[in-house]
Amino acid sequence: MRAEDAEVFSRAIAAVKGEGRYRVFADIQREQGRFPHAKLRMADGSRRDIVVWCSNDYLGQGQSPEVISAMHAAACKVGAGSGGTRNISGTTSYHVDLEAELAQLHGKESALLFTSGYVSNDATLSTFGKLFPDLWIFSDELNHASMIEGIRRAKATVRVFRHNDLQHLESLLNEAPPGAPKLIAFESVYSMDADVAPIGAICDIAEAYGAMTYLDEVHGVGLYGEGGGGIAERDGQMHRVDFIEGTLAKAFGVMGGYVTGPSAAIDAIRSFAPGFIFTTSLAPSLAAAALESVRLVRACPHMRTRLAERAERLKQMFADAGLPVMPSTTHIVPLLVGDAALCKQISDTLLFDHGIYVQPINYPTVPRGTERLRFTPSPFHDDALMEKLLDALVAVWAQLNLERAA
């Protein structure tokens, strides 16, 4: 490598460090059966106990004995990897059964598996652009990076509407020729701001303008709705949304992504999306574990009730202590810090002095000046853990001379 090329890498890193948002990964070892407890590997190689407060394993399903045993059984029965792309020997009964289960979960005709939620958004949205050369896409400004990337690669005419702003969405829809194919892409739960989309109202608008709807339920699936179908199910709107996309890595605690929708559309995505076609399919053990997890989560509404109760309790505790908890109508509990370096300092102090792991959320994940700590209580974060967290936060706020509301 030429010295001037190496310099480009170093300068990029120096800039990130200068802004105080250089990412340092905590090296943790989750402990099977003890979620949310884990061990942190220190610089000297020793390990210390920590409690994880920022996991997206929202229901602790990654530690469920049934899910682990399904994974284990599949690996013992059929081996470690799938051995190919879906088209070339990589489709197993686990994949097929999981797709059927996911279609049912969202009340859709078909489902298609991908290797992650990121890939499902990127591959599907970019393929829409191939299938509809004159497509117009209307995208919420807070959509996830995977949707933005897929939309960018769709090479469609793109309009970005202000977050959850229905009037703005409508005014942009009016710019499109009435006969043009249109797609509204949005999320159900916006995981950094902890708010939800007005799905019913967006479907009303979509119907009025003849637009298709594409909903990312990554942070809603498993957690809302009687059967865990997500916010769309909770709001009675699931049947009105054309495409529902989700992940197997958060509420279901495993790995992988998917999109559900009408059979003909899913068949077309299956046939045209390079991100689906040209990659090895999920390991059968992952598909088996995810299948078990989806079945369990669908059948256990009490997990969702408990999660909601835990999140409400934590929000109330933060508010009562005068901590800057951001408004949240979901299971996600963000605390506003508003400065990248400070956010990292609070996170480091919590981790090294109190054994509490909550990752700083900085730009580009959130806008500069809105840096925050994002807490994700699960059904397994009990009252004692919450009290310890609160005590630690109050101590850190005092140590760093940060303001608390009266």
Among 82, 121, 237, 376, binds ligand PLP (CB under 6 A): 121
Rounded Cα–Cα distance for residues 3 and 357 (Å): 38
Rounded Cα–Cα distance for residues 211 and 176 (Å): 11
Pick between residue 217 and residue 392 the one whose CB is nearest to ligand PLP. 217
**Contact by Cβ (8 Å): 122, 146:** yes
Which of the stretches 59-67, 86-94, 115-123, 224-232 binds ligand PLP when contact is defined by CB under 6 A? Answer: 115-123
- The minimum distance between CB 55 and ligand PLP, in angstroms, equals 12
Tokens 């303008």, located at residue: 209
Pick between residue 144 and residue 381 the one whose CB is nearest to ligand PLP. 144
Site string for ligand PLP, 59-98 (x = CB under 6 A): ----------------------------------------
Report residue 103: phi and psi, to 5°. Answer: -60, -45
Q: Which of residues 127-146 bind ligand PLP (CB under 6 A)?
A: 144, 146
Closest listed residue to residue 386, CA positions, set 284, 313, 329: 313
- The minimum distance between CB 157 and ligand PLP, in angstroms, equals 23
CA 219 to chain centroid, in Å, comes to: 5
Which residue number has the CB closest to ligand PLP?
A: 117
Amino acid at 174: N
250 is catalytic: yes
CA 35 to chain centroid, in Å, comes to: 19
Which of the stretches 216-224, 262-270, 287-295, 316-324 binds ligand PLP when contact is defined by CB under 6 A? Answer: 216-224
- For the chain, what is the radius of gyration of the CA atoms? 22
How crowded is the C-beta side of 266, counted as CA atoms within 13 Å? 21
Rounded Cα–Cα distance for residues 83 and 386 (Å): 44
Rounded Cα–Cα distance for residues 247 and 115 (Å): 9
Size of the site for ligand PLP (CB under 6 A): 14
- Beta-sheet pairing, 182-187 with 136-140: parallel
Asked whether position 281 contacts ligand PLP by CB under 6 A, the answer is: no
Asked whether position 151 contacts ligand PLP by CB under 6 A, the answer is: no
Rounded Cα–Cα distance for residues 377 and 381 (Å): 6
Active-site hit among 108, 182, 250, 315: 250
Which of the stretches 18-26, 72-80, 96-104, 214-222 binds ligand PLP when contact is defined by CB under 6 A? Answer: 214-222
Site string for ligand PLP, 358-377 (x = CB under 6 A): --------------------
Q: Which of residues 244-273 bind ligand PLP (CB under 6 A)?
A: 247, 249, 257
Asked whether position 218 contacts ligand PLP by CB under 6 A, the answer is: yes
Report residue 39: phi and psi, to 5°. Answer: -115, 135
SS3 90: coil
- The minimum distance between CB 215 and ligand PLP, in angstroms, equals 10
**Contact by Cβ (8 Å): 298, 69:** no
Among 61, 63, 110, 191, binds ligand PLP (CB under 6 A): 191
Tokens 């059964």, located at residue: 97
**Interacting residues toward ligand PLP by CB under 6 A:** 116-118, 121, 144, 146, 187, 191, 216, 218-219, 247, 249, 257
The residues annotated with a catalytic role in the active site are 250
